[in-house]
Amino acid sequence: MNKSTFFTGQPIFSQLVSLISKSAVRKAVVEHKSDRYYKRFDTFHHLITMLYASYQHCTSLREVVTGMQACEGRLQPLGIRYLPARSTLSEANESRSYQVFEKIYQSILTTYRSLLPDSQSRFPNLVLVDSTTISLFKEIMKNAGNKGADGKRKGGIKVHMAVRSNENVPYLIRFTAGANADVPFLKHINLPAGSVVVMDRGYSSFSKYNEWTVNKVNWVTRISPHNIYTIDHDRPLAPIHQAEGVVSDQDIMLGFAKKKERVRCRLVRFFDAERKRTFLFITNNFDWSPVQVASIYKQRWQIELLFKRIKQNMPLQYFLGDNENAIKIQIYCSLIADILLKLATLRLKRKWAFSNLAAFVRLHLMNYTNLTKFLENPDKCRICNPTPHDNTQLKLNFSG
C-alpha cells in the first residue's frame, strides 16, 4: 500500500479558487454594483458556481445544481453558504452583468502577471491578435455562413483576443456577433513603441497600419487578396534566404493612387516546403531579414493553440443560458478557470500537457489531495481523507 502523506485539508477546487483574491472580487462588485438586487446568491457565489461548471464540464443547469448539492460539505472551505436553484442561476446569468467577471479576470491577470512571462521567449514584445467563433444553438447573435437544411441559421459569437506571446493568456478580450468583421477590434489595441503585433489578414486596416508606423510599433500580417499595391523596387536576396524559402522581397505601396489612405510597407513572398504553399507577408519593418519576417508571423500559430486549448478543455459547446449576457459570463468564467490551471503549474519542474491536467482536475475536483505535490510526483501521491490540522493551499512565489 502507498503510505504517502501528500494530502491537504482542502479539495483541489478550493486550492484553485484560493488563488483568487477576495478583495479583488469585492472591488469588482462595488465598481459594477453587481450585488445590488441579490440577498444570498452574490457575485462570489455566482463565480464559484460557474467555475465548478467549467471544471466539471456541466452541460445543463441541472448538472451544476445537483453536482454542487452532492458535495455541499466540501464547498464549505470556500465560504459557500447558499447553493442556488436552477431558476436562481438562470436568472443571475441573464441579469448580472458579465462585466464584473471581466473585471475579476483582469484583476487575476494583473496580480500574477509578473509570474507569467517565459524567460525563454524569443519575442518578449510580441502581441498576437486573432478571433475565434463559437457556434450557438440558436440565432442569439448573427453567424456567418448559409442557412441550414431546415432554413434556420445558428447563432455565433466571435471572441477577439490580444495575447502577449510570452504570457499565453489573453489580456484584451472583446465580443461581437459571428457575422461581424474583425477590423473594429483594432481600435481597442494600444501598444508602446518597440512592440511587434502579428495578426491575420482579416484585420486589414490601412489607418491602423499607418498609426502603428508613426508610433514605432512593428506589425506583420498577410496581404489580403483584395488589396491593390504597386511595387517600388525589389530587394536583393541572399542565397541563404532563397534556400530557406524566400521567393521575393519587395518594397511596395498599398492602396489606390487616388486614395488618401495608402501604406508604404514591405512584401515578402515565402514558400513553405512543408505545406507546399506560398505565403505573402507584409510588414512596416524594413530592417528585418525576410526569413525573420516569416518566422515572426509563424508565431501567430500560438494563439490558434490557445483557442484550441480553451475550446477542448472548457465546456463551450453548451451554454447555461440562451441570452447574450449568460454566454459572455460563461466564456469569461472559462478563461478564469483556464488561467487558474496555468497558475497552478507555474513553479512545477515536471511538465504537464494541459489536456491531462484539465482531465485530472475534472476527475478529482472535490477530492482531498495536495495538487502541487501530486503534479510534481503523481506516483507517490494518493487521494486521502482530510486531517483537521492541515490547511495547505496553493502558494505562488512573487520573488521569482
pLDDT given at position 333:
96
Residues above pLDDT 70, as percent of the chain: 86
pLDDT given at position 260:
78
Check: CB of residue 293 under 8 Å from CB of residue 281.
yes
Q: What is the C-alpha separation between 270 and 223, in angstroms, rounded?
A: 12
Please indicate, yes or no, whether residues 26 and 70 belong to a single structural domain of this protein: yes
SS3 readout for 170-204: EEEEEEEECCCCCHHHHHHCCCCCCCEEEECCCCC
Check: CB of residue 331 under 8 Å from CB of residue 159.
yes
Nearest alpha-carbon partner for 373 in 112, 75, 115, 8: 8
- Tell me: the pLDDT tens digits for 3-30? 444 444 789 999 999 999 999 999 999 9
> Residue for cell digits 519576417?
293
Check: CB of residue 248 under 8 Å from CB of residue 234.
yes
pLDDT given at position 6:
47
pLDDT average, residue stretch 275-292: 94
SS3 readout for 332-346: HHHHHHHHHHHHHCC
Residue 351 lies in a domain: yes
Check: CB of residue 199 under 8 Å from CB of residue 221.
yes
Q: What is the C-alpha separation between 67 and 52, in angstroms, rounded?
A: 9
pLDDT given at position 69:
94
pLDDT given at position 345:
84
Residue 189 lies in a domain: no
| DSSP designation for 142 | B
Please indicate, yes or no, whether residues 338 and 287 belong to a single structural domain of this protein: no
Please indicate, yes or no, whether residues 208 and 288 belong to a single structural domain of this protein: yes
| DSSP designation for 316 | -
Residue 394 has pLDDT above 70, yes or no: no
Please indicate, yes or no, whether residues 238 and 276 belong to a single structural domain of this protein: yes
Please indicate, yes or no, whether residues 286 and 339 belong to a single structural domain of this protein: no
pLDDT given at position 5:
47
Please indicate, yes or no, whether residues 289 and 339 belong to a single structural domain of this protein: no
The answer for residues whose C-beta is within 8 angstroms of residue 92's C-beta and 6 or more apart is: 38, 41, 46, 84
pLDDT average, residue stretch 299-311: 92
pLDDT given at position 229:
92
pLDDT-derived band at 225, boundaries 50, 70, 90 = confident
Please indicate, yes or no, whether residues 284 and 351 belong to a single structural domain of this protein: no
Q: Which SS3 state, helix, strand or coil, does residue 361 take?
A: helix
Please indicate, yes or no, whether residues 365 and 295 belong to a single structural domain of this protein: no
Check: CB of residue 67 under 8 Å from CB of residue 58.
yes
| DSSP designation for 396 | -
Residue 164 lies in a domain: no
pLDDT average, residue stretch 373-387: 69
Check: CB of residue 265 under 8 Å from CB of residue 284.
yes
Residue 176 lies in a domain: no
- Tell me: the pLDDT tens digits for 54-102? 999 999 999 999 999 999 889 988 888 899 999 999 999 999 999 999 9
**Number of separate domains in the chain:** 2
Residue 129 lies in a domain: no
- Nine-digit cell string for 284: 512596416
Please indicate, yes or no, whether residues 253 and 330 belong to a single structural domain of this protein: no
Highest-scoring range by mean pLDDT, 129-133, 147-151, 383-387? 129-133
Spell out the alpha helix ranges (H) of 244-345. 290-298, 301-313, 324-344
- Tell me: the pLDDT tens digits for 153-209? 567 889 999 999 988 899 999 999 888 889 999 999 999 999 999 999 989 999 999
pLDDT given at position 233:
93
pLDDT-derived band at 270, boundaries 50, 70, 90 = very high
Spell out the alpha helix ranges (H) of 98-193. 99-112
Q: Are strands 263-272 and 246-254 parallel, antiparallel or unpaired?
A: antiparallel
Amino acid at 288: W
Residue 337 lies in a domain: yes
Residue 361 lies in a domain: yes
pLDDT-derived band at 315, boundaries 50, 70, 90 = confident
Residue 292 lies in a domain: yes
156 pairs with which residues across the strands?
A: 135
Please indicate, yes or no, whether residues 324 and 295 belong to a single structural domain of this protein: no
Is residue 309 exposed (0-12), middle (13-18) or buried (19+ Cβ within 10 Å)?
A: middle
Domain span at 225: 204-299
- Nine-digit cell string for 211: 498609426
Higher pLDDT, 218 or 275: 218
Which of 299, 333, 361 is a domain's end point? 299
Dihedral sign, Cα of residue 382, residue 387, residue 389, residue 393? positive
pLDDT given at position 261:
86
Measured CA distances, 374 to 15, 17, 151, 362, 380 (Å)? 13, 17, 51, 15, 8
**Average pLDDT taken over every residue of the chain:** 87
